[in-house]
Amino acid sequence: MTYQTILVHLQLGHPHAALLHLAGRLAGRYGAALIGVAASEPMQVLVADCGAEAVLVSEDAQRELALCERAFHLALGEQVPSVQWLSRSDCVSASRFVADTARRCDLILTDAAPSMFFDPQGVSVGDLLMHAGRPLLITPPAARPLLFQHALLAWDDSRECRRAASDALPLLRDCTQVSVARLTSRDGEAATAVQLNEVTVWLASHGITASPLVLHVNGDARQIVRIAEEHACDLIVAGGYGHSRAREWALGGTTRELLSQQHFCVLMAH
């Protein structure tokens, strides 16, 4: 398994240097084609004379889309043999447009939005995670995309976690160190140790040497980030969780924490 095509999603109005740097390195490592994408939603305005609604595409959005395209091609156009650009400024849902584009790829790169709620100038990363059907590799501007030295697999034995681990196999195989961690009470220590041993055996079957970490801490979502800091990790792999609501997805506590932190690259799958 490898990544043949990588979708690179650029948020409007965000710095893109870290994201594009990582995209170039991943494309070089896996020989992957890159598809750049950016999208925004038009403004709905009420026309006073007739009480009707009109749809306006702002000049700011058009300008930001053009800046994203320029940044993408300047950073990657000569570096990667196969690049393509897609954008749209009049989406009914910008998140759904990017999610639909993901049918073409194996992996989505995106940056962490400062807000995971609806923003007409951008895409909800939480919404994208739940709809895309592809793993997201989220790269905050302050993260250190090292390609990658030490990965932390945050294990909870859920369907989402298992899928994230499977989707991350190419990255995990390239890491020099992989830790598989699970938070547990002392009463659950023995069962957790058996479970993590099975996970490390599975990883070994894919050529990945991993160490189990049975941690006696509470289930606070911030523990995952603290563990990554303590063990000098530069990649976190985890399942993503949420439930649907009217406009977007309401995210679980750990998912929300991992999407909002600004220091680690995170691969998540739902």
Query: CA dist 47 to 52, 92, 121, Å?
Result: 5, 19, 22
Mean pLDDT of 96-119: 81
Instruction: Specify the long-range contacts of residues 186-195, CB closer than 8 Å, at least 24 apart.
Output: 186/216, 189/214, 189/216, 195/155, 195/157
Do 109 and 19 touch, CB atoms closer than 8 A? yes
**And the tokens for 157?**
């034995």
Read off the pTM.
Answer: 0.90
Confidence at 118, pLDDT banded by 50, 70, 90: very low
- Does the structure show a pLDDT above 60 at 181? yes
Residues in the chain: 270
Structural domains in the chain, sorted by start: 5-138 (3.40.50.620), 150-269 (3.40.50.620)
Which residues, at least 6 apart from 85, have a Cβ–Cβ distance to it below 8 Å?
35, 36, 37, 69, 72, 73
Closest CA to 153 of 26, 239, 259: 239
| Tokens 């009049």, located at residue | 90
**Whether residue 265 has pLDDT greater than 60:** yes
In tens, the pLDDT along 189-208 reads 999 999 999 999 999 999 99
Question: Of the candidates 105, 91, 82, which has an alpha carbon nearest to the alpha carbon of residue 12?
Answer: 91
> Three-state DSSP class for 134?
coil
| Mean pLDDT on 2-17 | 94
Which amino acid is located at 66 in the chain? A
Count of CA atoms in the C-beta half-sphere (13 A) of 79: 18
Do the beta carbons of residue 59 and residue 111 sit within 8 Å? no
Task: Give the residue, 200 or 125, on which the prediction is more confident.
Answer: 200
Q: Cα–Cα distance between 29 and 260 in angstroms, integer?
A: 28
DSSP 124: -
- Is the model's pLDDT at 49 over the cut of 60? no
pLDDT exceeds 70 at position 82: yes
pLDDT in tens, 51-66: 445 455 678 889 999 9
Range from 74-83, 219-228, 251-260 carrying the lowest mean pLDDT: 219-228
Joined together, the tokens standing for residue 125 give 């990363």
Question: Taking the CA of residue 260 as centre, how many other CA atoms within 13 Å lie in the half-sphere pointing to its CB?
Answer: 12
